[in-house]
Every structure is written in C-alpha cells, then in structure tokens.
Amino acid sequence: MQVDIIGGGLSGLATALSIKEHDSSVDVIVHEKHKRIGYNRDARKCGEAHSIESFSLKWKPPKDAIATPIYQGKITSGKKTYVFERKPDTAWILDRPAFISSLGKKAEKQGIEFVLNYKITDFTSLPGDIIVDASGCPSVVKKSLGLNQNFGYGFQQTIKNCSAYEDNTLKIIFDQNGGYYWIFPRHPENREMNIGIGLTINNNAKLPVLLEQFKKEHHITGTIDYTIGGLIPEGLQYPLRHKNIIFVGDTGVGTLPMNGQGIYRALLSGDIAGKYVVHRDLKGYAHEIIREFGRMDVIGKLLLRWNSFVYHINPNLVLASWNKYHSLNQKLSFFKSEYDTIH
C-alpha cells in the first residue's frame, strides 16, 4: 500500500510516523511545498504554545525544540483574571521549526520518503491508495473540491526586549471583539515574546491595527522582529474523510474553538490517523476523531455562536459571556487540564 501525505507540518509528520509505527511495510510519501522540513516560514505561523496530557506524553518536545517552559497561565476577561498553575514539564513555548524538524528527522530514519519544494495543486494526480490531507488551513483538497471550511484569523508579532516579558507565564486576554490576545514569553535571554490576536467576531476589524491598539493600551514596547498572520480553523472541519482521502490537523480537526489551540490536535489526529490508515478503515478514523474532540467542539462552537449573537446586541456582553464560561469551567472543569490547578 502507498500513502501520499500532503504537507510536512506537524499533522503530516505525526501521521507518517504513526503509519510506520503500525505497519512498517506501508510506503509513505510526504509532499512538502517548502525546500526544508521545519525551518520554513509556515513553521513559525503560530503562537507556539504547546501542552500535553497523560494520554499525549509522546508529543513532549525534545529539549532543543523548547523555547521556554510554562508553569503558569493567566486568563483575563474584563476585570477578572483566572490563574492556572501548571505541573512542570507539561507545557512549553516551542521552537516550532526545531520541533517540526525533529519529527522530520525521525520520519527519515523510519524510511519515509520526502518530496520537497513542490506544491501539490492537483491532488488527483497522486498515485497513493490513500491520500492524507495535512496541508493546514485552508486545505488544498477541500479548496479544490469546494468543500466547506470554517475559519477565523490570527496575527502575531515576535517582539524582542519586550516590556511585557514575564518568565514562564502565558497570558490570554479575552476581548469584547469576541476574540483574544496572547502574550507568550519566548526567549528569556533577549526577553523575546510572541504577542498576537485571534478569532475576533468583528470581521471588519483589522488585526494588525487592533494589536497595535492593544499594545498601546497595555504599554507594551519592544523591537518587532517577526510578524505573521494565518487562518485558524474553528473546531472540527467536516467532512473528516472523502472517498480515499482523510483530513488531519487543521484540515480536519481544526483548533479548539475557545482558544485556537491546534498543535496537540494536529499531532493527536495524525497519531489516530496512522492507526486506521494501515487497516484502510477511514470511517473508523472519522468516528474516533469525533469521539475524541466532539464534546469540546460542541461546547466551543455554542459559545462562539452565542458570543457572536450577543456581540451584535452589546459588545460588553461578550466579556460577561467569557466570564461565565471561565467561572463555570473553574467549577465544573469541563475544559481543564489534568495538570492544572486553577485559582
């Protein structure tokens, strides 16, 4: 059997490795449009925050792919701040290019073939028995088939010598535009931070302009080193399979609707995909993805729809809605890591 994977990002490489883990006789070819795996522009299209749970320990990044460890999260909506203490060695800001590159090296060792520097435009020309679309957002395959994709936008700056630098602390600030800002430490040596904005309801809003306003309001200064924007898929992106094609990472499971967290979903969906691909059970893949991510997805999408509704009545109600969600979460722990303690 031959499997063609479109995209050598996290979900594509996780799928490739998982296929080989389950059946080393399968021929796996990863097609990547960039010249290099990892050290390319797409590998930095991210806030780079990554965390694991006990079931995803295998996705712990190697030491040289960690920009800085995270021990604490502060989530603010309006005047309220919720503080999460994190168990050490379970959350990080990644050096994402290095992380992707480390998976690429592992894949090479497993005999996975790479076709680099070639952008797939016509997926029907791929000869594989199964095609895995891991091309990110927007999905190359869904775009050409005219299939639905549901996404918002994100934009971020990496700032050196940043006045907002706080060691080992990840901050997310919810906003009445419906989205959120993030302030993540990146490198302690030069007080480098990733500061970004994502998923606003106000579609007329210009993210770079909003981010500058936010920095001004919070007196954040420093030297901008790197800026990048991208699409953020909100939750599961149906369909999860189409004929002999499955959708992993951003093309299929998307990101957690409440905060755009997509790295662990990309890795986990690739891991799950490998298990089913070797048995040619693509329906099984779709079912397990729904079992794994469906519940959080429903809660997240309902919250986003509700926020979008109240935004048009009064944007301040969006903050009240985020607050309700966070305080309910604090009580009921429907979205709380097993490694978090909330204050």
Ligand X SMILES: Cc1cc2nc3c(=O)[nH]c(=O)nc-3n(C[C@H](O)[C@H](O)[C@H](O)COP(=O)(O)OP(=O)(O)OC[C@H]3O[C@@H](n4cnc5c(N)ncnc54)[C@H](O)[C@@H]3O)c2cc1C
Strands 130-133 and 241-242, sheet pairing: unpaired
- Residue selected from 26, 98, 266, 268 as contacting ligand X according to rule CB under 6 A: 266
- Residue selected from 262, 273, 319, 326 as contacting ligand X according to rule CB under 6 A: 262
Told to check if 211 binds ligand X by CB under 6 A, we report no
- The region of 66-74, 132-140, 172-180, 299-307 touching ligand X under the rule CB under 6 A is 132-140
- The region of 21-29, 39-47, 63-71, 271-279 touching ligand X under the rule CB under 6 A is 39-47
Give the HSE-up count for residue 335: Cα atoms under 13 Å, Cβ half-sphere. Answer: 19
Cα gap 299→4, rounded to integer Å = 34
Told to check if 250 binds ligand X by CB under 6 A, we report yes
* CB closer to ligand X, 27 vs 317: 27
- Residue selected from 15, 16, 26, 45 as contacting ligand X according to rule CB under 6 A: 45
Residue in 195, 116, 202 with CA at minimum distance from that of residue 153: 202
Told to check if 158 binds ligand X by CB under 6 A, we report no
- Residue selected from 49, 183, 246, 273 as contacting ligand X according to rule CB under 6 A: 49
Told to check if 44 binds ligand X by CB under 6 A, we report no
CB 234 within 8 A of CB 151: yes
Q: CB 274 → ligand X: shortest distance, Å? A: 14
> In a 10 Å sphere around its CB, with 0-12 CB exposed, 13-18 middle and 19+ buried, how is residue 219 labelled?
exposed
Q: 17: which residues sit within 8 A by CB, 6+ positions away?
A: 103, 106, 107, 110, 112, 270, 274
Told to check if 134 binds ligand X by CB under 6 A, we report yes
Cα gap 244→128, rounded to integer Å = 9
Q: CB 253 → ligand X: shortest distance, Å? A: 8
Cα gap 225→160, rounded to integer Å = 7
* CB closer to ligand X, 99 vs 276: 99
* CB closer to ligand X, 15 vs 310: 15
Q: CB 291 → ligand X: shortest distance, Å? A: 20
Told to check if 319 binds ligand X by CB under 6 A, we report no
Percent helix, strand and coil across the chain, each rounded to 5? 35, 25, 35
Q: 196: which residues sit within 8 A by CB, 6+ positions away?
A: 47, 154, 155, 156, 157, 181, 182, 211
Strand partners, 2: 27
Told to check if 86 binds ligand X by CB under 6 A, we report no
- Residue selected from 46, 201, 278, 282 as contacting ligand X according to rule CB under 6 A: 46
Told to check if 32 binds ligand X by CB under 6 A, we report yes
Told to check if 136 binds ligand X by CB under 6 A, we report yes
Binding mask 183-202 for ligand X (x = CB under 6 A): -------------x------
Match 């006045």 to its residue by tokens.
Answer: 163
Rounded to a whole number, what is the largest CA-CA distance in the chain?
58
Q: How far apart are the first and last CA of the chain?
A: 52
* CB closer to ligand X, 52 vs 318: 52
- Residue selected from 4, 5, 8, 241 as contacting ligand X according to rule CB under 6 A: 8
CB 182 within 8 A of CB 172: yes
Which residues of this protein are in contact with ligand X, per CB under 6 A? 6-12, 31-34, 42, 45-50, 119-120, 134-136, 140, 154, 156, 196, 230, 232, 249-250, 255, 260-263, 266
